[in-house]
Amino acid sequence: MDEILLHIADIFFVIFHSALTIFNALGWIWKKTRKLNLITLILTGASWFILGLFYGIGYCPLTDWHFQILRTLGHTNLPSSYIKYLIERLTPFRPGAELVDITTAVVFFGALSLSIILNIRDRRKKNKR
**pLDDT at 129 (0 to 100):** 72
Alpha carbon distance 36, 59 (integer Å): 21
Give residue 75's identity as a one-letter amino acid code.
Answer: H
Buried b (16+ CB within 10 A) or exposed e, 61-80: eebeebbebbeeeeeeeeee
Q: How big is the CA angle at 100 (ends 31 and 103), to the nearest 5 degrees? A: 40
- SS3 label, residue 7: helix
For 65-110, write each residue's pLDDT tens digit: 999 999 999 999 999 999 999 999 999 999 999 999 999 999 999 9
pTM: 0.93
Alpha carbon distance 24, 36 (integer Å): 9
Q: How many other CB atoms are there within 10 angstroms of residue 125's CB atom?
A: 10
Q: How many other CB atoms are there within 10 angstroms of residue 7's CB atom?
A: 12
- Mean pLDDT score of the chain, rounded to an integer? 96
